[in-house]
Amino acid sequence: MPVIPVAGSEEFANLPTSPAETRRIVGTAVKLHEVGQSVIDALDPLTYEVIRHRLTSITEEMGEALKRMSGSVVVTDCNDFDAAIMDEVGDVVQVGLYNTELAASLDMAVSWTLRHRAARPGIAPGDMFLCNDPWVGGGLHQNDVSLFAPLFIDGELFAWTGAVAHQVDLGGVSPGSWSVAATDVFWESVPTPPVKIVENGEIRDDIEDMYLRRSRVPKLVALDLRAKIGANNVAHERLHALCEKYGAATVKAVMRRVLKDAETRLRAKLSELPDGSWTSVAHQDSARSGDRGIYKIVCTLTKTRDTLTFDFTGTDPQVDGLINCTYAGLRGGIMPVLLTTLCGDIPWAPGGLYRCVEIISEPGTINNCTFPSGIGKASVASAWATTNVVTECLAGLLDAHPEHRKRLMSVCCGTWDFALLAGVDQRGGGFVTMLCDSMAGGLGARTHSDGVDTGGLACIPMGRVADVEMNEFSFPMLYLWRREEADSGGPGRFRGGVGASSCFIPYDSPLGGVHLVVSAPGKALPLAGGLAGGLPAGTQHDVLLRSTSVHEDFAAGRIPALLSELGGEAEVIPSHHETDLGSADVYFTHWQGGGGYGDPLLREPGAVAADVIAHKVSVTGAHDVYGVVLASDGTVDQDATTSHRSALRLSRAGLDSDRQEVNA
């Protein structure tokens, strides 16, 4: 069914708003703190650095507070959250290191709240606002629930702090809120625009009930709400102490200078790079269960002097399904790449960095969709694909500079391998959890080194995988293995980092089995592209084996190590799928590695031999893709390799030994 416009939804179609415009609309409803240029100019370098680093450490403390109070493995063990400190109008002064996608549009949500909530119901000390409406901002899909809190100093709104975390279930048709059959947002979790859920330091029971009532795991979501309140409280305590020690004007002056410093230093770096344009494309296969379509996001990056323009003209229209993302998702796809590839030595102050960036995008496209398009998977679908295409474009820009090219990286793990389990756990309680094993994606290759194997995800610098034992303790499942997979890293002169697989069975649930929701594209075509002749990483691969011999194997003291040892009937799982796993069913899920860099035939043969010994590359891959012939002891047969590479160089280009077309 085509998306039908919803009258009134335009109020929530938020776009970044300038500080001056936000101030104009707020008017006298809330007194916003301001600092004069003379105070900023008078800052001494030492005070600036001390306070700037304090702001950084406060965002880290917010993350610690969140982790210690949450009961969700997604947060406590996998770091799928983030925290930020913003100025009085929402410009982000410091973003935490955790999942930077999540915090990329907190500024939009805070600005919207100022513009729409300052008069009614008002913004006062002790208030906190909850938002999971990605058209407003604050997160990329409905599961990303943000909680942001105004900090008042002497009666003036001085700053905001915000915490955002992935909640494992907020309702919708499918467990985990990833409704894989969704055609629009009404299949999914209800998006909630900013509501004052904490008033004068107390949780509002009526609002909390409205929020939690939608979830299959309300107790867990309630605990996460308190964890985010705790994170904001910790930040407010620390910021109050900082203002008492140095004075609010000085702290605000530092915030202003951090924003300016980030902007100035990024502009300086951009000025060193050549002007030009780079166009790339990111595909996604399947928009919902049963769909066999392929959808593209096209990005042209134009770099002119000290400005970057990301133009998404050519991107496909929004689609019936759950893979669209809003404008907040599009920004969430850009900022993490800017931070990791260009800002290693620049303050992570998105509010300043965004000043160097222009975005051209047509509303109604898959990474700038309109209400009520389906966005349940936005964060790791079109937002992630935006990250991929931006990564390629920025890598092209950096590659043309002899020094800065050392900072580029090919696309890492082309998407999130979503596997969600739900049912009754070994303690008899209902459970829902997103398996976060694919936090161990392969990182992209670089111009001078291989990508890090199972090194993580570029957009989630602090992401991590829960221990197998933690997952088995928390949920009714038993692993057969979790391991790196050969050939999953994109071949190249420098190889992309390998991805990995997990293989498990339902275990110890009183129901016998568990419910499974899969949303894992990259099966028809790999999603992590290579650079400069480097190949893409491997494809996503998920297999469900029904009625296996696994329990007989266990009884006989055997732990199967290959799918072929398990018997049963194999089903290759499409990108979107929902089913039940029985007690003897085995699920195998294999996520992607990083893209390669440079022609694989130029890879040092000894490095290929070492990869084979380490099971990073198979013997077949070494021979067919890298052109390396190995002796029986695993060492390189140099003469045979030279000869084979010469032949392969011709044959892969479709030429015979006389350089004639093979099929001519």
Partner 1 sequence: MSLFIDDNLEQHSDGSVTCRHCSHLVGDAAAPMNAARVTETAPRTAGPSVREDAALFADRPIVFRRTFCPECLTLLQAEIVPGDEVSSRHRSLIVGA
Residues in touch with partner 1 (CB under 8 A): 274-281, 283, 285-286, 292-294, 296, 298, 314, 392, 396, 399-400, 402, 447, 486-491, 493, 523-526, 529-541, 572, 574-575, 590, 597-602, 618, 620-621, 624-625, 649-650, 652-655
What distance in Å separates the CA atoms of residue 302 and residue 577, rounded to the nearest whole number? Answer: 39
Which of 162, 184, 182 has its CA nearest to residue 173?
Answer: 182
Shortest distance (Å) from residue 471 CB to partner 1: 24
Give 278 or 554: the residue with its C-beta nearer to partner 1: 278
- DSSP string across 94-138: EE-SS-TTTTTTHHHHHHHHHHHHIIIII--TT-EEEE--TTTSS
Structural tokens at position 631:
């002796």
CA angle 657, 617, 488 (to 5 degrees): 105
Q: Which two tokens stand for residue 623?
A: 């021979």
The CB-of-282 to partner 1 minimum distance in angstroms stands at 9
CA distances from 406 to 74, 125, 415, 469 (A): 33, 47, 24, 38
Q: Are 527 and 385 a contacting pair, CB within 8 Å?
A: yes
Rounded Cα–Cα distance for residues 205 and 485 (Å): 49
Find the shortest distance in angstroms from Cβ 537 to partner 1. Answer: 7
Structure tokens at 64: 């610690």
Tell me the three state secondary structure of residue 636: strand
* Nearer Cβ to partner 1 (427/652): 652
Q: Which is nearer to partner 1, 8 or 402 (CB)?
A: 402
- Least Å distance, CB 416 to partner 1, is 17
Using the minimum distance from each CB to partner 1, give the nearer residue, 60 or 624: 624
Whether 412 and 442 have beta carbons less than 8 Å apart is answered as yes
Q: Which residue in 181, 166, 216, 131 sits closest to 423, CA to CA? A: 216
Least distance from partner 1 to the Cβ atom of residue 278, Å: 5
Shortest distance, CB of residue 423 to partner 1, whole angstroms?
Answer: 27
Q: What is residue 597's DSSP assignment? A: B
Nearest alpha-carbon partner for 351 in 17, 13, 14: 17
The crossing angle, in degrees rounded to 10, of helices 205-212 and 218-246 is: 130
Count of helix runs (H) and strand runs (E) in the chain: 16, 20
What type of residue is 639?
D
CB nearer to partner 1: give 5 or 276. 276
Task: Tell me the closest approach of the beta carbon of residue 521 to partner 1, in angstroms.
Answer: 9
For the bound state, the minimum distance from the C-beta of residue 378 to partner 1, rounded and expressed in Å, comes to: 21
Residue nearer to partner 1 on the CB measure, 9 or 618 = 618
For partner 1, the closer of residues 2 and 274 by Cβ is 274
d(CA 471, CA 466): 7
Q: Which is nearer to partner 1, 69 or 180 (CB)?
A: 180
For residues 656, 658, 659, 661, the Cα torsion angle rounded to the nearest 10 degrees is -50
Nearest approach in angstroms of CB 279 to partner 1 is: 4
Of the pair 620, 642, the CB lying nearest partner 1 is at 620
β-strand pairing of 81-87 with 569-572: unpaired
One-character DSSP codes across 130-182: EE--TTTSSSSSTTEEEEEEEEEETTEEEEEEEEEEE-S---SSSGGG--TT-
- C-beta of 539: minimal distance to partner 1 in Å? 5
- Residue 213 vs 305, nearer CB to partner 1: 305
- By beta-carbon proximity to partner 1, the closer residue of 135 and 597 is 597
| 353 vs 638: CA distance, rounded Å | 50
Taking the complex as a whole, how short is the minimal distance between the CB of residue 485 and partner 1, in angstroms?
9
For partner 1, the closer of residues 171 and 396 by Cβ is: 396
- Beta strand 156-166 with 357-360: parallel, antiparallel or unpaired? unpaired
Q: Give the nearest distance from C-beta 174 to partner 1 in angstroms.
A: 20
Structure-token pair, residue 243: 């203002």
Would you say 448 and 577 are in contact if contact means Cβ atoms under 8 Å apart? Answer: no
Structural element, H or E, at residue 298: strand 294-304
Residue spans of beta strands (DSSP E) within 18-80: none
Q: Which is nearer to partner 1, 155 or 274 (CB)?
A: 274
> Residue 71 or 533: which CB sits closer to partner 1?
533
- Which CB atom, from 83 or from 395, has the smaller least distance to partner 1? 395
Q: What's 373's DSSP letter? A: B
Q: How far apart are CA 111 and CA 90, in angstroms?
A: 6
C-beta of 241: minimal distance to partner 1 in Å?
49
Report the residue number, 533 or 568, with the smaller CB distance to partner 1.
533
Output the six-digit token pair for 179.
């409704």
Torsion of the alpha carbons at 350, 351, 353 and 359, rounded to the nearest 10: 100
- Least Å distance, CB 422 to partner 1, is 25
Q: How many CB atoms lie within 10 A of CB 43?
A: 16
Smallest separation (angstroms) from partner 1 to the CB of 150 = 44
Is residue 599 exposed (0-12), middle (13-18) or buried (19+ Cβ within 10 Å)? Answer: middle
Shortest reach from residue 651's CB to partner 1, in Å: 10
